[in-house]
Amino acid sequence: MSKTKGVVAAGHELTARAASEILEDGGNAFDAALAAIFMTFVAEAVFSSPGGGGFLMGRRENSDSVRLFDFFTETPLKRRPMNEIEFFPVYADFGPAKQEFHIGVGSSATPGAVPGIFLWHEALCTLPMRRLVEPAVRAARTGFALTEFQAYLFTVIAPILTASSDVAKIFAPRGKLMKAGETFRNEGLAETLEWLAEDGARLFVAGDVGEAIVEQSLSLDGHLTYDDLKQYHVELREPLYWRHRGATVALNPPPAASGPLIAFGLAYIEALQEAGGKVDALALKRAMEATNEARMMHGESLASRLAGGVLARELREAQRHPQAYRGTTHVSVIDEEGNAAAVSLSNGEGNGYIVGNFGFMLNNMLGEEDLSAGGLDGWREGTRLSSMMAPTVILEPDGAVTALGTGGSNRIRTAILQVAVNLLDHRMSLEDAVEAPRLHVERDGKTSFEPGLPETMQADLLALGEKAHAWPARNLFFGGVHAARRDPKGGMDGAGDPRRQGVAIAV
């Protein structure tokens, strides 16, 4: 590895190139990551939107401290009765299985992406916002060839992308969904991003976009009002720091569920090691089963005994918040100074309506099947949603820094756990750690696993019978971990997960 200005890993080539362009122009990791996020609104619109929310885990150069910017979505301040809102089910087609989502204007939570972006820019960036939106504006206006992967995602959520004429105009302009190789454009979004760079976050609160959000909600029976937009606040949080194999792992803290669950898995692995066990696929399976048990027990039982009970409190705090775990993309960037940015964004799948003529959908986070114990209409008002998104920074004793994160719904926590174990326990290279075969254990005990595990371990897993699901190839089901790393001597490398067409670029 040679010294570079920086390295980026992301879920689309255009996203990675937006970040690398900014690094070349002298921007730092936070500038580059922000440019990449603007590009996800354009090139990864199935996952990301200005109408959603997310998290930035940021580490400043030569610092042992990390800060988390929480700009995830929040339940509206006032909940209208279900019979008064527009809210209906659609089915995503994953081939072997279908999943029910709920969309409509009544499915939208208060978005946090735009206020989060501007607070992040003010605190950490060096280049003007108008420069950072340029790559995304250019791509949205001139267009780009749709990839096979993005075209496939269009088919998965086809009912959402054709739910209204304004959405279909962008994603199915000739009466049918766009296919791979066709030129995708979104001129409305290009203009919105240019305007946003000039007017700032107020555009989405008291400006024309904010007015359009509220007008859509009032006219099409949603929950959101001006008060929701005005009273939203970005939260700066201390990460959940966890020690593993001498490294400090900075994780997303409550109200997110991901950090406590990943830490719990790492703690369980350490307990197995102390008892003389090996860290292999079966050990990871046991760790995932134990984590599921702790999660279902709301932080009691094993969690109250492991690691001095600290994680029991963390898990209880995460359980207090309604859950929204779907539709995520991730960007990781590290620059030559050692600044590290791990950013995860989600729009759910979108609510099925374009806001005004501004080229984007609001989220459908209130359509989460497991939103609350009280059902889809039982969520607490004015509450930050709990997320499984897991932007993570790992600081090793020798000075190595790794930024990573993934999409993958409830598989996010197990994907990050396995890559962290690959890096810290097995000392794999970054690329090998990301590409190594994965497994995932559901709450009901069903164990899914990719090919490539040792034959004896595969046999043990297949012995589970109906509880075993052997996937024929690596699959996006197991997430898409995009990671960037800087070694103690300043060398850098990146790994984009092939499961989600990931791209890594060093400049």
Cα–Cα distance measured from residue 473 to residue 454, given in angstroms and rounded to the nearest whole number: 15
Q: Phi first, then psi: give them for residue 356, nearest 5 degrees.
A: 50, -135
* Strands 240-244 and 235-237, bridge-based pairing: unpaired
| Helix H or strand E segment including 480 | none
Alpha-carbon distance of 279 to 207, in angstroms, equals 54
The answer to whether the beta carbons of residues 236 and 367 sit under 8 Å apart is: no
C-alpha dihedral sign at 418, 423, 425, 428: positive
Q: What are phi and psi of 277, to 5 degrees?
A: -80, 160
Evaluate whether 60 touches 339 at the Cβ level (below 8 Å): yes
Alpha-carbon distance of 442 to 114, in angstroms, equals: 34
Radius of gyration of the chain (CA): 21
DSSP codes joined into one string, 50-65: TBSEEEEEEE-TT-S-
Two tokens, residue 400: 């190595």
Structure tokens at 200: 């700032």
Around Cβ 474, how many Cβ atoms within 10 Å?
17
Q: How far is residue 184 from each of residues 143, 176, 353, 422, measured CA to CA in Å?
A: 5, 13, 18, 38
Q: Three-state DSSP class for 415?
A: helix
Residue 328 annotated as catalytic: yes
Active-site residue, selected from the candidate residues 73, 328, 329, 402? 328
DSSP string, 312-377: HHHHHHHHTS-EE---EEEEEEEETT--EEEEEEE-TT--S-B-TTSS-BBP-GGG-TTS-TT-TT
- How many C-beta atoms surround the C-beta of residue 176 within 10 A? 11
Output the CA–CA distances (angstroms, integers) from residue 495 to 8, 59, 153, 402, 406, in the order listed.
8, 19, 22, 11, 12
Other C-beta atoms lying within 10 Å of the C-beta of residue 31: 28
- DSSP lists the bridge partners of residue 59 as 66, 340
CB 294 within 8 A of CB 319: no
| Segment (H or E) for 281 | helix 281-296
For residue 502, what are the CA distances in angstroms to 154, 263, 331? 18, 25, 10
Active site residue ranges: 328
